[in-house]
Chain A
Amino acid sequence: MPSSPLAPWSEDNWREDILRRELSVQATVLAQLANKLGYSEEFPTDTPPLLCRLFKETAQIIAKYLPDIPQDHLQIVNTVLCRLAEFLRYAERSKVTQTPWSMVQATEAFFKLQGGLKCQFAIRPQWAFNYGIVGEFVEVCRTNIKLLPWIPLAEWEQGVGKLTDMEIYCVSFPRTHRLNPLSHANWGHEIGHIVAGRWLAKKFQAIWSEEEPGIKTEIEKDVLANPPPVIDLWKDVAIKETIAAKITLTMEVTRQGIEELLCDAIGVHLMGPAALASACEFCARYDLDESPVMRGGHYPPWRYRLRLMAEACQEDLQEHPPKAGSTKGYPGNMVTPYFKWLTQILNLVAKNADQEVLKKGVVTREAYKAIEKRWPVIKSEVIAQLPQLSSRPYRLHERIDIIEELVRKLSADLPPNEVGDWPSVSPASLEDILNAGWAFKLIRARTDAGWATTENYEKLFRLILKGIESSFVARTFGPRVTKVGTS
């Protein structure tokens, strides 16, 4: 309860006096900010307003129950409120002016359908040159409320209503690439984190339990052969600590390795070579052979990732003769520059500098031995979790006629939104549009050294974005228009 103005001075009373007053204002302002933001109606989908509502309700209930909070919980409330305030930036940055709004609705629909995900996605830029996914926010808020036992969870659930059954994530992209839809093929990887994360939550512990004894033996051998440089008195303790630390690190490297590789596999499965192409352009900025233990994220080396992605796209990285009844084989004239560029990745991955790096230390060596042993099974299990609609991987060589048609449209300065001749047209799929966009870009970039100007990129991107939006609207609203007719 609030301290009386007459209570004797103490540090605890001093802190309580400030926090109980200020946190109440902070929670109320936070709820107001979230509310105001949610009603600004400048979002490309309903998801950011839903996020705002979630944060508003959470801040509001905290404000309501603040007078009942025990003194020693006030700092926890501060932590929760500060996190909520930081989360608001995800909604705030999801406004249309900050996003490639014309592809946001289409992309969300694609991931729900093709990824089999009953999730909502907000999409926002980040100033760091990176793609990412954060969430799930409903569960995060629920966990925070549970940390504050004096707030009835049932009342919070009643306040957020239907949101309790939702899952909301925020997917990010580099701000400088806002209007670059080709680069956004990387979103397939990010969405993969949801699918892969769920699978790992169920299965990783069992995998690790099976692998750990063997890994422990190898680590012990390694540490004993290269003991830590300490005085004899502490040697045994230091050896045990080093072994324990390396086992923990190996587990983290293994888990993160599996997760990232699965995300790549899902991206390629859904988007085909467009995912490989966008990953390739992204990773060209970095060391392809950086060890997973060199950075906090424990990411697999890029060359290793590209190799597995190229294997997944193998069918599209080889030529195919014409099918029966057709004179056109793969890659055909229009896709050849894209095909050739993609097959250059095979030169990259033929080098094994990444594998040398992985073999250098016992941690990465054992982690990747465990991953490689299980990779085909793991990958097929996770892919099998995708809905029936996505059971087959996207194959560019099977779509060659459509891709060529879309490339022809781009060449004629037309958006690649539909295939067929009017009136027998159908909306092009997001995957086809992105692959056609890549094919067109590579035709131009490889045949005209002066083509890669900002103006040309901008024109290509806006035609692709228009194509994605028009195809989404035709798919979503077209049947409704047909149903009601026109007068």
Chain B
Amino acid sequence: MSVLTGDRITERLKAGTSGLIITPILSPKQIGASSVDLRLGNQFIVFRMHMLETLQPFNTPNSDLKKMQQRQVVRFGSPFVLHPGMLALGSTFEYIRLPNDLSGEAEGRSSWARLGLQIATATCVEPGFKGVLTFELSNVGTIPLKLYPGVRVAQLILHDAEPPVSKEYDANRKYYCPVGPEFSQVHLDNDGRAFSVLE
């Protein structure tokens, strides 16, 4: 499984609607030697901790999960402040579509990581994925971080998926064509429910 270099990424982007889509790319310089820089979108999901005493994902009704999460929108030009120890869901500004022969990994940019920002713990992007990528933003530093929508916080590293997946990434998937961060749908993991019965 080889990593796509900048030249190959450019080539795949030029293939148009049928190829790799990352849109909009505000500057060609976002494409690096072996990755594409991704910008922060302007929607966030924050957690309302006072709404639930504890979270048992498989036994908690979906409505309770939604009750503890609140969507926030920040205007482009205004900051979202991420405090130390805080977890918030964010997303890429770019909408991404991977063809069936590419998979990806989203990683934080080192410049931001050095300030304490972590953007993801679940980084795998499957072949055929369409939508924005959700970030699990957390500030592991000690100083609050002002995050402006549009800043480059992550990078997408692309790999060849061999052989290409034959099954289309379709609407039955948990996260389909999202345009902002998505609430967790862990409650749809049926096997998790099977284990949680043992409690």
Contacts and interface: CB of A to CB of B under 8 A. Distances in A.
A binds B: yes
Contacts of B73: 42, 44, 96, 101
Q: Which of B16, B26, B171 has the most CB of A within 10 A?
A: B26
Contact of A414 (B14, B21, B72): B21
B27 A485 contact: yes
Name B's interface SS.
Answer: mixed
B24 A478 contact: yes
State which size class the interface on A falls in: 35 or more
A412 B26 contact: no
Contacts of A415: 23, 95, 179
Given A473-B76, A477-B76, A417 B23 contact: yes
Nearest to B30: A486
B93 A473 contact: yes
Interface stretch (A65-73, A199-207, A457-465): A457-465
B27 A481 contact: yes
A75 interface: no
Given A96-B73, A462-B179, A473-B150, A418 B23 contact: yes
Interface string A465-483: 1100011011011100110
B8 interface: no
B25 A466 contact: no
Interface in B1-58: 10, 13-14, 16-17, 21, 23-30, 37
Contacts of B37: 486
A14 B83 CA distance: 55
B172 to A, nearest CB: 12
Interface stretch (A147-155, A389-397, A422-430): A422-430
A281 interface: no
A414 B178 CA distance: 10
Q: Which of B95, B97, B132 has the most CB of A within 10 A?
A: B95
Contacts of A455: 171
B137 to A, nearest CB: 19
A11 interface: no
B184 interface: no
Contacts of B72: 42
Given A44-B73, A45-B75, A414-B21, A481 B16 contact: no
A412 B97 contact: yes
Contacts, number: 88
Nearest to A474: B24
B177 interface: yes
A486 B21 contact: no
A93 interface: no
A414 B13 contact: no
A435 to B, nearest CB: 19
A214 B172 CA distance: 68
Interface in B154-183: 171, 177, 179
B23 A421 contact: no
A133 B141 CA distance: 48
B26 A478 contact: yes
B17 A408 contact: yes
Nearest to B97: A414
Nearest to B20: A422
Contacts of A417: 23-24, 95
Interface in A88-106: 96-97, 101, 105
Nearest to A466: B179
Nearest to A426: B24
A423 B16 CA distance: 10
Contacts of B93: 470, 473
Contacts of A45: 75
Contact of B26 (A41, A408, A414, A477): A477
A477 B150 contact: yes
Given A476-B76, A482-B27, A422 B17 contact: no
Nearest to A45: B75
Q: Which of B13, B23, B30, B72 has the most CB of A within 10 A?
A: B23
A470 B95 contact: yes
A214 B140 CA distance: 81
A455 B21 CA distance: 23
A427 B26 CA distance: 10
Contacts of A413: 97, 130, 177
B24 A414 contact: no
Nearest to A475: B24
Contacts of B95: 414-415, 417, 466, 470
Contacts of A477: 26, 76, 150
B196 interface: no
A409 interface: yes
A455 B170 CA distance: 13
Given A44-B75, A417-B95, A425-B23, 13 more contacts: A414-B21, A415-B95, A415-B179, A422-B13, A423-B25, A425-B24, A466-B132, A473-B93, A474-B24, A476-B76, A481-B27, A482-B27, A486-B37
Query: What 8 pairs between A and B have smallest CB-CB spacing?
Result: A466-B179, A486-B29, A96-B73, A474-B24, A481-B26, A422-B13, A478-B26, A462-B179
Interface of A: 41-45, 96-97, 101, 105, 408-409, 412-415, 417-418, 421-423, 425, 427, 455, 459, 462-463, 465-466, 470-471, 473-474, 476-478, 481-482, 485-486
10 contacts: A42-B72, A44-B73, A413-B97, A413-B177, A414-B21, A417-B95, A421-B14, A422-B14, A423-B14, A478-B26
